[in-house]
């Protein structure tokens, strides 16, 4: 009888685990572009004051003492019920139809806003949005994204301190760079 309960228990846990894996949202979701956030209000914008809504903070540079980092996200929305904060960054460019992914630098910018907002408002955002003219990406504030952002910040600070940078030129990374065939000291034309 005990073994029957054990089998039922294990089956139940496996079933729950399987459901979690099936219905778990990916770290990056692709959607149609839309500025608003359902069930949320704007609490911050980097725009100038227009109608002077007292519930909105306008154009202030947000500064994180913990990370010695500052920035101005385009918008921060706050969910009405959960009070979760959602930074939204608008981008003027488009996403290539053959590679529907957000640009790496834009993701790092959003991840830096995650860190700043957590320090300034005392609440860690669960996700943020990058909105291009043709796609919107809902990006989760994951541990790995935060770790990568902190590593890049450390590399940037080292570069500012020493004046030296680690460069890994490659055809893929350098192919559209305007400096590649002119002033670049690192790209050797191979690959």
| pLDDT per position as a tens digit, 135-162 | 999 999 999 999 999 999 998 898 888 8
Residue for token pair 């893929």: 172
pLDDT at position 43 is 95
Written as six digits, the tokens of 174 are 């350098």
pLDDT band at 190 (very low <50, low <70, confident <90, very high): low
End-to-end CA distance of the chain: 66
- Alpha carbon separation from 125 to 149, 183, 190 (Å, rounded): 15, 41, 42
Written as six digits, the tokens of 105 are 């630098």
The residues that bridge with 103 in the sheet, in sequence order, are none
Helices (H), the chain: 2-23, 104-121, 143-162, 171-174
| pLDDT per position as a tens digit, 3-52 | 777 777 777 777 676 655 555 567 888 888 888 899 999 999 998 777 77
Residue for token pair 């540079």: 61
């Amino acid at each position: 009888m005990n073994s029957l309960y054990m089998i039922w228990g294990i089956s139940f846990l496996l079933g729950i685990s399987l459901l979690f894996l099936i219905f778990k949202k990916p770290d990056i979701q692709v959607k149609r572009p839309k500025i608003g956030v359902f069930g949320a209000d704007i609490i911050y914008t980097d725009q100038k004051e227009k109608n002077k809504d007292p519930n909105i903070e306008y154009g202030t540079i947000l500064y994180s003492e913990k990370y010695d980092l500052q920035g101005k996200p385009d918008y921060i929305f706050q969910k009405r019920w959960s009070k979760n904060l959602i930074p939204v960054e608008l981008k003027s460019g488009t996403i290539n139809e053959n590679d529907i992914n957000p640009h790496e630098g834009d993701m790092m910018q959003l991840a830096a806003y995650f860190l700043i907002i957590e320090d300034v408002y005392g609440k860690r955002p669960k996700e943020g949005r990058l909105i291009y003219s043709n796609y919107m990406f809902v990006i989760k504030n994951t541990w790995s994204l935060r770790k990568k952002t902190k590593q890049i910040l450390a590399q940037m600070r080292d570069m500012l301190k020493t004046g030296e940078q680690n460069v890994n030129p490659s055809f893929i990374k350098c192919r559209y760079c305007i400096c590649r065939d002119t002033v670049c000291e690192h790209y050797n034309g191979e690959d």
